[in-house]
């Protein structure tokens, strides 16, 4: 019952967050000293064309009326129409968002598979060579800009070694798999399209590693800190005195408690991966939401930018909710209030 009440309150909070984000993004789009109409039509547009364009997109109405119309559309699942693509923003998000999800999940997988074991290893070998290596790796990971690292790995693994492709989601000579989820790897598996699966995985390696590298360093640092604190607890000394193997002590007793603070970082990491995808997708020519947002911002496509912002806010809020539920799963004694 406590968990259900907590979920209800959090979902109401997410609705409030969405309302606040919609107000902020709408206000900013009207404060920016630029005219999206001229950006869309060009300087040579006639006055009649400008008037017709403003009427078609509702830009001829007072700002408060525009926001009411926009909010009413949101309540009915309408995010407006993109000025750049001339399509409903919701349709654009359906097309581009799966690519970003695929890239983000790959980066998160890299972060978890490397960051958590590295943090445990570092804590177990405190002030020894493995610990120094992991800490150096973490410092470098937090300092390297994503775009610079992306250019470096492209130069090494594509231009020099010719091991991996430099950009895109799939080889240009291979047809994309039949769309089911929009994730090429998943759709390839569902349709048993092995050539598309192999090509999409190859194209996912470099951008997934680049996007996940920074988060790997952050997770490794937090995991090391949490594990060091847990390893000093008395119950672990008791477990060892009972003759349990060290691997059992670490994995069954220490790791569960050390993961609680790390879960917070994982939730924040997921949100940062979505924002970091903007640079990664630009460097690797990845046709996802990041590139769509970048091009929309350049072309002053405010409906598209607001749609991307709202979607990112929803995902970030849901990710934090899942993290809180993870707390409850790791330690049922935690009471959400």
Model confidence at 337: pLDDT above 50? no
pLDDT band for position 201 (cuts 50, 70, 90): very high
Q: What number is the average pLDDT over the span 206-222? A: 86
Enter the DSSP assignment of 166: -
What's the mean pLDDT when you consider all of the chain? 81
Would you say residue 29 lies in a domain? Answer: no
Predicted TM-score of the model (pTM): 0.80
**Based on the domain organization, do 267 and 166 belong to the same domain?**
yes
Average pLDDT over residues 273-286: 78
Same domain for 66 and 171, yes or no, is no
Q: Return the pLDDT at 336.
A: 46
Any idea which residue has 């060290």 for tokens?
Answer: 246
Instruction: Give the pLDDT score at 121.
Output: 87
Same domain, 152 and 73: no
Instruction: Let me know whether 202 and 313 are in one domain.
Output: yes
Q: Report how far residue 37's alpha carbon sits from residue 48's, in angstroms, rounded to the nearest whole number.
A: 12
Residue 183 belongs to domain with CATH number: 1.10.3720.10
In a shared domain, residues 43 and 157: no
Question: At which of 78, 111, 135 does a domain end?
Answer: 78
Where among 48, 78, 108 does a domain terminate?
78
Q: Does 122 have pLDDT greater than 70?
A: yes
Domain annotation covers residue 295: yes
Q: How many domains does the chain divide into?
A: 2
Residues near 2 by beta carbon (within 8 Å), at least 6 away in sequence: 335, 336
Residue 21 domain flag? no
Q: In whole angstroms, give the CA distance from residue 205 to residue 76.
A: 38
> Is the pLDDT reported for residue 335 higher than 60?
no
Look up the domain containing 278 and give its range. 90-330
The mean per-residue pLDDT over the stretch 102-121 comes to 88
**Does 151 share its domain with 190?**
yes
Return d(Cα 337, Cα 334) in angstroms, integer: 9
Same domain, 46 and 154: no
Instruction: For residue 30, tell me if it sits in a domain.
Output: no
Tokens 């092995």 correspond to 194
Residue 32 lies in a domain: no
Confidence band, pLDDT 50/70/90 cuts, at residue 219: confident
pLDDT value for 188? 92
């Amino acid at each position: 019952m406590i968990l259900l009440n907590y979920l209800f309150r959090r979902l109401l909070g997410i609705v409030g967050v969405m309302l606040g984000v919609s107000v902020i993004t709408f206000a900013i789009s009207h404060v920016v000293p630029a005219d999206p109409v001229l950006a869309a039509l060009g300087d040579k547009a006639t006055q009649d064309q400008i008037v017709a364009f403003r009427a078609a997109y509702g830009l001829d109405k007072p700002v408060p009326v525009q926001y009411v119309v926009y909010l009413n559309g949101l309540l009915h699942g309408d995010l407006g129409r993109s000025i750049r693509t001339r399509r409903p923003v919701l349709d654009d998000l359906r097309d581009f968002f799966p690519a970003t999800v695929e890239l983000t999940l790959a980066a998160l997988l890299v972060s978890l598979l490397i960051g958590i074991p590295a943090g445990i290893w570092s804590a177990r070998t405190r002030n020894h060579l493995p610990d120094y290596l992991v800490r150096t790796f973490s410092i470098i990971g937090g300092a390297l800009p994503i775009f610079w690292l992306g250019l470096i790995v492209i130069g090494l693994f594509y231009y020099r070694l010719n091991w991996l492709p430099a950009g895109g989601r799939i080889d240009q000579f291979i047809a994309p798999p039949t769309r089911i989820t929009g994730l090429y790897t998943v759709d390839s598996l569902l349709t048993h399209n092995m050539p598309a699966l192999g090509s999409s995985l190859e194209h996912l390696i470099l951008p997934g590693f680049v996007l996940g590298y920074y988060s790997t360093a952050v997770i490794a640092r937090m995991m090391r800190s949490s594990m060091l604190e847990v390893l000093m607890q008395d119950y672990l000394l008791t477990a060892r005195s009972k003759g349990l193997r060290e691997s059992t002590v670490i994995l069954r007793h220490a790791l569960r408690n050390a993961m609680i603070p790390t879960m917070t970082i994982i939730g924040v990491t997921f949100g940062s991966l979505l924002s970091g995808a903007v640079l990664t997708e630009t460097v690797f020519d990845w046709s996802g939401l990041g590139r769509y947002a970048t091009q929309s911002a350049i072309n002053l496509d405010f409906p598209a930018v607001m749609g991307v912002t709202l979607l990112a806010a929803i995902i970030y809020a849901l990710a934090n909710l899942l993290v809180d539920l993870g707390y409850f799963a790791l330690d049922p004694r935690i009471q959400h209030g």
